[in-house]
Amino acid sequence: MEGVDYLADERKKTEFDVEEMKIVWAGSRHTFEVSDRMAKLVANDPVFRKDDRVMLARKDLFKNTLRKATYAWKRINELRLSEEEASKLRSFVDEPAFTDLHWGMFVPAIKGQGTDEQQKKWLPLAYKMQIIGCYAQTELGHGSNVQGLETTATFDPQTDEFVIHSPTLTSSKWWPGGLGKVSTHGVVYARLILDGQEHGIHGFIVQLRSLEDHRPLPGITVADIGMKFGSGAYNTMDNGLLRFDHVRIPRDQMLMRVSQVTRDGKIVQSDVPRQLVYGTMVYVRQTIVQDASIALSRAVCIATRYSAVRRQFGSSNGGPETQVIDYKTQQSRLFPLLASAYAFRFVGEWLKWLYTDVTQRLQANDFSTLPEAHACTAGLKSLTTSVTADGIEESRKLCGGHGYLASSGLPELFAVYVPACTYEGDNTVLMLQVARFLMKTVSQLGSGKPPVGTISYMGRIEQLMQCRCAVKKAGDWLNPNAVLEAFEARAARMSVSCAQKLSKFSNPEEGFAELSADLVEAAVAHCQLIVVSKFFEKLQQDIPGKGVKRQLEVLCGVYSLHLLHKHQGDFLATSYITPKQASLANDQLRELYSQVRPNAIALVDAFNYTDHYLGSILGCYDGNVYPKLYEAAWRDPLNDSVIPDGYEQYIRPLLKQQLRVAKL
Ligand SMILES: CCCCCCCCCCCCCCCCCC(=O)SCCNC(=O)CCNC(=O)[C@H](O)C(C)(C)COP(=O)(O)OP(=O)(O)OC[C@H]1O[C@@H](n2cnc3c(N)ncnc32)[C@H](O)[C@@H]1OP(=O)(O)O
Ligand SMILES: Cc1cc2nc3c(=O)[nH]c(=O)nc-3n(C[C@H](O)[C@H](O)[C@H](O)COP(=O)(O)OP(=O)(O)OC[C@H]3O[C@@H](n4cnc5c(N)ncnc54)[C@H](O)[C@@H]3O)c2cc1C
């Protein structure tokens, strides 16, 4: 029935102020208001319809994305939206497009690596979208190994130009989003060659297509790399290939904040560390952590609402069957994901602060926090995207058979999201970067330079190597200090154990390669500690609203204790807890699930997602799932006719033939 809220009974059980939780989730009242306004603007505009996306063939899909992106830009200008509003609007359009790379990587690369003069020249054009840019780093032969890129940029002192060239097939740029069909320009990463000498990888602004007729400029070969995983999904994006045949660009199109090439072809290093060439990746990785909480919360919102609607078994005396959300197994799979969505939200908020802080320091020539910022962004990107990708798939399973329908929204969400485990750095490669940072930290302990920031716990290494867990009853696991010490001791002991094993190798690089699987586990333990500790820090803030803080405490408990349960092998093997204490943690976790249960629907309502953004019949706000599923089935093009196309050609002859066989 129209207008009936099938989840109303669930919403009546809520024990906290949902409106205040919406503010906590959004980060501030201001952010909430902007998000709410932009989400509704998109949801109420038929141009942004997306329920037909999975049915479209590639060319139609791509044209549809161009239409939406151009229309979004028109609305942004007509409504004179601020940068914040425009970015929210684009995210609620919810369709990967060339604009993601233009605003998300091309512009930040120029801002981070361009000189003031270069920024003055290129940014106004990019801001007005008079040029459209991509980030062309990865090649057919190399993605993770950036130093292995083969594209060359050779300086020609005669003409004061760089010659950009693709010397081999494997040096073809491969993957850049927006490159395939749209971008007019790219920040292209290439090996700098001056007077026959190599000087490492640098970024260059290269025009790719004519601004008059969009044709590739002379010497440039460019195309789309083809269909990707899933229907709809990331196929709205024109990931591209690109080859250069001795393409000439002026010298001042090398991004020169980190190093400059002079008129006579000499390289001059500025005070800025070389690693800043990788700066755009640090920026994007922190935005990916923020996006992880969004993608995971969408999946969890769908699975939670549907789990409250869906009933299976357990009817007594003809009464209703059990809501599947009441099964403890369903809760033990769903509620940790719900808690993870909140945990990632808060760690993302903190990481944004860390990034802003490091950027300000860099501007003041203080580079001291760059290694930690790199380790945190790399590690948290890796951790949160892995959990989110797995969490979306788990949410699909939590919805049973209907989760497999495209109209559940989950298959497409998974297909769009899963490359996040690969792009912006393969998750294992990034965890190995964290491991390097940890091993360096351990090797410097006792050198008189106390570790700071997220690694400061290593400063208490002696205590952390010896302490034992003091938990005696399940409720003791609610004490933040008990939980924090457990995660610190586990992370510290795993790092020290790796460092001790490493020290036995005469060649440290050989040792690092041999022990890399253990090193990744130590890095994961360190990153989980960061997430847990940032959740506790959040709880120390003043959080208004009836029952809001209490709910967050419960979620923080679920987040940390489910990790403790899942990784109890680590905690036991490092001898910090006993099997009895592990079992008590699990008892407490079950108790916490019971506390989440009455609030589960309200906790996902607090995400404030419109039905348009969720794009899921199973997750719709009113829970009226079955009639909507039934109606959606009839909208499938296959149901346009009762007798399918192909009946005369294939089915009828088949049936006739079977008839003859039967007669024999
Ligand atoms: C249902 C619909 C839903 C709709 C949703 C709609 C929205 C969806 C849209 C999503 C859009 C997302 C777009 C995605 C774009 C992806 C773009 C890319 O992938 S772009 C391509 C991304 N590509 C990648 O990510 C490539 C990954 N590979 C790499 O980053 C590097 O090659 C490496 C780090 C692995 C090795 O580096 P290498 O130099 O070979 O070797 P070393 O290890 O020896 O390191 C040397 C020193 O440098 C230090 N350091 C390193 N990095 C950094 C840093 N960033 N900073 C600072 N420092 C850093 C390091 O610590 C060390 O220091 P020290 O010890 O000497 O003190
Ligand atoms: C959807 C999508 C969009 C993208 N957009 C862009 C873009 O806009 N611009 C751009 O430049 N690039 C883009 N990329 C490319 C992306 O950044 C790379 O694919 C990514 O960095 C991984 O590199 P790779 O493909 O070389 O993986 P590989 O390094 O070849 O990884 C293959 C396997 O080897 C393992 N491995 C590699 N090195 C090591 C090691 N040292 N130790 C242990 N294991 C290792 C990995 O863990 C992985 O299992 C995009 C990719 C995708 C999928």
CA of 431 to the centre of ligand 2 (A): 13
The residues that bridge with 175 in the sheet, in sequence order, are none
Average pLDDT on 420-447 reads: 97
> What pLDDT sits at residue 1?
45
Of 433, 440, 444, 516, best ligand 1 pocket probe by most atoms within 8 Å of the beta carbon: 433
Q: Which residues line ligand 2 (CB under 6 A)?
A: 101, 135-138, 142-144, 175-177, 234, 239, 419, 422-426, 428-429, 432
Nearest ligand to the CA atom of 177: 2
In ligand 2, the atom with minimum distance to the C-alpha of 179 is 8
- Give the up-direction half-sphere exposure of residue 489: CA atoms within 13 A in the CB hemisphere: 24
In ligand 1, the atom with minimum distance to the C-alpha of 137 is 21
pTM over 0.90: yes
Q: Which residue CA neighbors atom 26 of ligand 2 most closely?
A: 143
Nearest ligand to the CA atom of 435: 1
531 Cβ closer than 6 Å to some ligand 1 atom: no
CATH superfamily, domain 133-270, is Butyryl-CoA Dehydrogenase, subunit A, domain 2 (2.40.110.10)
Closest CA to 241 of 150, 143, 355, 139: 139
Q: What is the H or E stretch that residue 284 is in? A: helix 279-309
Residues that constitute the known binding site for FAD: 138, 177
Q: How far is CA 335 from CA 14, 15, 308, 524, 591, in A?
A: 16, 17, 13, 21, 12
CA of 451 to the centre of ligand 2 (A): 31
Question: Three-state SS for 155?
Answer: strand
> What pLDDT sits at residue 15?
98
CA of 374 to the centre of ligand 1 (A): 9
> What's the CA gap between 188 and 99, in Å, rounded?
17
The residues that bridge with 261 in the sheet, in sequence order, are 267
> What pLDDT sits at residue 664?
54
Active site residue 424: yes
Nearest ligand to the CA atom of 231: 1
> What pLDDT sits at residue 659?
57
Is residue 51 predicted with pLDDT exceeding 50? yes
CA of 424 to the centre of ligand 1 (A): 5
> What pLDDT sits at residue 277?
87
Nearest ligand to the CA atom of 438: 1
Q: Which residue CA neighbors atom 4 of ligand 1 most closely?
A: 94
518 Cβ closer than 6 Å to some ligand 1 atom: no
> What pLDDT sits at residue 24?
98
Amino acid identity at 447: S
Q: What is the pLDDT of residues 609-631, one digit of tens each?
A: 999 999 999 999 999 999 999 99
> What pLDDT sits at residue 662?
56
CA of 189 to the centre of ligand 1 (A): 13
Q: What is the pLDDT of residues 367-388, one digit of tens each?
A: 899 999 999 999 999 999 999 9
- Going by pLDDT thresholds of 50, 70 and 90, the confidence category of residue 552 is very high
Q: Which residue has the tokens 């296959």?
A: 638
Q: What are phi and psi of 189, to 5 degrees?
A: -95, 130
> What pLDDT sits at residue 3?
76
Q: Which residue CA neighbors atom 43 of ligand 2 most closely?
A: 429
In ligand 1, the atom with minimum distance to the C-alpha of 282 is 55
Cβ 139 vs Cβ 110: under 8 Å? no
Amino acid identity at 295: A
> What pLDDT sits at residue 293?
98
CA of 422 to the centre of ligand 2 (A): 5
Q: What are phi and psi of 198, to 5 degrees?
A: -85, 140
Of 107, 145, 175, best ligand 2 pocket probe by most atoms within 8 Å of the beta carbon: 175
Q: Check residues 448 and 164 and name the one with the higher pLDDT.
A: 164
Q: Which of 139, 412, 424, 485 does the annotation list as catalytic?
A: 424
Q: Which residue CA neighbors atom 24 of ligand 2 most closely?
A: 143
Closest CA to 618 of 298, 327, 391, 233: 298
